[in-house]
Amino acid sequence: MNLIIKICGLREPEHALAAAEAGATHIGYNFTSSRRRVDAGTARRCIEFAKADFPEIKAVGLFVDADFDEIESTSQAAGVDMIQLHNQPSAELISRLSLPVLPVMRSAPGEHVSSVIEYFDSVIGGSSSCLARCISPDVSRGNRTACRLGSCGGGRIISSDRACGWA
């Protein structure tokens, strides 16, 4: 099984390289209000430094509540390979972006997993064939609640089953 290991919040080229050397498959850059925030130029320097020795590593740009123009311009300037969007990004926004998108949704404590599934189905048009399924950690107690993790964008669906090695 291939694991995906993402180290996020990087701000120094040496840290990006160290993450790659330690086995990270993805390196992440925060373009949102955060103490780990970087500008596009800093992210680009980090990405280029890591990719010089590890060209297969994927760079991820993290955005929260950003608009289309900001996401596109920052992603292009930074040279990221994919975009991580928080706070339930709309299907319309995701479909307009030029890079693959990893939409993120947080569920409230006690919220039924069906609301998470409903959101991801709405983002990808109900095509559950492109979704990875995972089993909750309490499977030992007989609770086999499945959740779906979606990955789509740029007018195309990226199979997270394949990306995660779960297919």
- Statement to judge: residues 4 and 75 lie in one domain: yes
Q: What is the pLDDT of residue 17?
A: 97
Question: Which of 54, 70, 87 is the C-terminal boundary of a domain?
Answer: 87
Is pLDDT at 4 greater than 80 in this prediction? Answer: yes
Give the whole-angstrom CA distance, residue 142 versus residue 147: 15
What count of residues does the chain have?
167
Q: Angle 40-53/13-21 helices, nearest 10 degrees?
A: 40
Q: Phi first, then psi: what are they for 13, rounded to 5°? A: -55, -40
State the residue range of the domain holding 21: 1-87
- Give the highest mean pLDDT range of 32-46, 90-104, 145-159: 32-46
pLDDT above 70 covers a percentage of the chain that reads 63
Q: What is the pLDDT of residue 117?
A: 66
Domain endpoint, select from 87, 106, 136 = 87
pLDDT in tens, 55-89: 999 999 999 999 999 999 999 999 999 999 888 78
Two structure tokens written together for 33: 């209000």
Say yes or no: 111 and 53 in one domain.
no
One DSSP character per residue, 84-138 reads EEES---HHHHHH-SS-EEE--PPPTT--HHHHHHHHHHHTTT-GGG-EEEE-GG
